[in-house]
Amino acid sequence: SAVISQKPSRDICQRGTSLTIQCQVDSQVTMMFWYRQQPGQSLTLIATANQGSEATYESGFVIDKFPISRPNLTFSTLTVSNMSPEDSSIYLCSVEVWDSSYNEQFFGPGTRLTVL
């Protein structure tokens, strides 16, 4: 398994500002993922962040809005830029861990973002 922490756990932000969310893992992992969970909804993948390469974004998400950094194998950040109330969501990072032949994904506790 993996222990994942996120900072901040929650924040209330003003429209037009940006927030950077940090994700820290207790072990080195190759693949990290960022998800968004809008109120009352399921999770949607934003992007995949691999160390040493540019993040890969899913349809509907762009780098200008959600820039991602992956400076090493235990850490990543997601920035939500120029925020609007529609960005109010829970943002979660996840990592993939190999255990024998299984590739399980573990999630951080999430960052609850409210944009006013």
Partner 1 sequence: SQQGEEDPQALSIQEGENATMNCSYKTSINNLQWYRQNSGRGLVHLILIRSNEREKHSGRLRVTLDTSKKSSSLLITASRAADTASYFCATDAGGTSYGKLTFGQGTILTVHP
The end-to-end CA distance of the chain, in Å, is 36
Q: How far is CA 20 from the centre of its chain?
A: 10
Among positions 13, 31, 63, 73, the unique one binding partner 1 when judged by CB under 8 A? 31
Q: Tell me how far, at minimum, the Cβ of 16 lies from partner 1, in Å.
A: 25
Binding mask 34-73 toward partner 1 (x if CB under 8 A, else -) reads ---x---xxxxx--x---------x---------------
Which of the residues 76 through 115 are near partner 1 (CB under 8 A)?
A: 90, 92, 94, 96, 102-110, 112
Q: How far apart are CA 46 and CA 50, in angstroms?
A: 13
In sequence order, what are the residues at sequence separation of 6 or more whose Cβ sits closer than 8 angstroms to the Cβ of residue 19?
Answer: 11, 13, 79, 80, 83, 113
User: What 3-state class would DSSP assign to 24?
Assistant: strand
Q: Between 16 and 35, name the residue whose CB sits nearer to partner 1.
A: 35
Q: Which residues bind partner 1 (CB under 8 A)?
A: 1, 31, 33, 37, 41-45, 48, 58, 90, 92, 94, 96, 102-110, 112
